[in-house]
Amino acid sequence: MLLTIWPLLISWLISLPRSVFMSGLKEKSRLDRLISLGIDKLGPTRLSMVSPYQGNMEKSGKHISVLMYHSISEDSCPGRHPYYQTHTPLTVFARHMEMLFNGSHIVLRLKEAVDLLCSPNDVKGDLVVITFDDAFDDFLTHALPILEKYEFPATVFVASGLVGKRNSVFLNKSCMSWDDLAGLEDHGIELGSHTISHVRLAKLSMSDMEEEIVASRTELQKNLGVEIDAFSCPYAFPEADSNFVKAYLKFLDQGGYRCGVTTRIGRASNDESRYLIRRLPINYADDDRFFAAKLNGSYDWMNSIQYLKKKIQFAIASGGK
């Protein structure tokens, strides 16, 4: 009984204000890290006891680890809890790539991963996709040389209206220029859309939301001369809002996209729309053990916690309707 109710207890903790949950703790004492390392010791045969979602996915054999990086730098966000940081120092990123190379992992292009997930056949092997949101210029100087060292493909998601600019949205970090982006395809890097202005889509009108999704693809294709068929939704994905999700899926489909990734936590699987692909958030706090646990599926339990938190928040914001 305890194993079936403890995720609900943890979700209650996570729904508390950030100042209460994990306040002042060291990175290695984070509750989500400790739980994940504990789950990792259980092994795949007992994962269903921890999370029905995780157990069912293990049985299906359809799971791919889609890694979500942002800035490859030392540029942290002051005052932000380690869980919410989006920077990964070059040394940490290099170590992650070394672990993938030395392990049994096969790094795929995002397109290849989507083909596998949509196929009727089981997915075999430890498959990984590497993605970067925001197209910061430190991708070019820091991440790309490491990716080339191991001949790893990756996908970079670009906010078309912020190309070559510094913006307060990104704490004045600079983004790659059109010339920078145009040369990435020759290095095995795919490009995708990340809206025009990196906005919270759920806060927009339907027409503005469609514009951010569709026009960004048009602008990227016009300026880069490449097919843009992948989309990344900025910020926390509002999956508890069914009206938003319905419109979002329609706009991506009608806008010509073939797939979409989100910030929903967990490994990608074939049990959901190809426009709602889950990813594993990666940052500076992912030491060897935590990174390996995420690749093993031992962080997938956070998907249930994340969803319940959003459901509660959405119910409160909508007055329980």
User: Which helix (H) or strand (E) covers residue 69, if one does?
Assistant: strand 65-69
What is the three-class DSSP state of 226?
coil
Partners of 158 in beta bridges: 193
- 7 closest CA partner among 314, 319, 307: 307
Among candidates 232, 225, 257, 20, which has minimal Cα distance to 129? 232
Q: What is the pLDDT of residues 155-200, one digit of tens each?
A: 999 999 999 998 877 878 999 999 999 999 999 999 999 999 999 9
What are 80-137's pLDDT values in tens digits?
Answer: 888 889 999 999 999 999 999 999 899 999 999 999 999 988 778 899 999 999 999 9
Go through the domains of the chain in sequence order and give each one's CATH number. 60-317 (3.20.20.370)
Contact 243, 257 (CB under 8 A): no
- The pLDDT tens digits for 21-56 are 444 345 667 889 999 999 998 875 445 555 554 444
Nearest CA-CA partner of 90 in 127, 14, 143, 18: 143
